[in-house]
Amino acid sequence: MNSFDEVWHLTDGGWSPQYKVVIHASLVNIIHIIWFVRNQHRFSDKKIHWKAAINLIIANVSLSENKTGKAACNSIYEFSILKAFNIAIHPPKAPKIIEVLWQPPLLDWIKCNTDGAAASTPYMAVCGGLF
């Protein structure tokens, strides 16, 4: 495996779809701008300041990412990175909300209300009940 493949596989973390697209776009644009600056210096004898190169990367990532409809998550880390690239954040769709009406039990009856939740692993679960 070459070094670019290794860098590309670093983006396979548990990030939101929008953040993943930003990381991919930034990696591609970093390589492109490095190549562009190198060729400008080598063939046209133009020196591009490093701040201008960074602004080109941010502009290209912002342009490419704002065209997608991928959803972000509510991570402050991802939020700060997306805002650094001037990306419009697309919040995930709201879950389906089902209205449940509670009714008191009949006279001389005992009612037990329960609820539970489980994470992605079978070892993390919680439940509760109320009589």
Mean pLDDT of the chain: 82
Average pLDDT over residues 30-35: 91
DSSP per position, 73-112: -S-HHHHHHHHHTTPPP-PPPPPPP------PPPTT----
Question: Is the pLDDT reported for residue 1 higher than 60?
Answer: no
> What are the pLDDT digits (tens) for 93-115?
877 888 888 788 888 888 888 88
Model pTM above 0.85: no
Q: CA 128 to CA 125: how far, in whole Å?
A: 11
Cα dihedral across residues 20, 31, 81, 61: positive or negative: negative
Ranges of each domain in the chain: 3-84
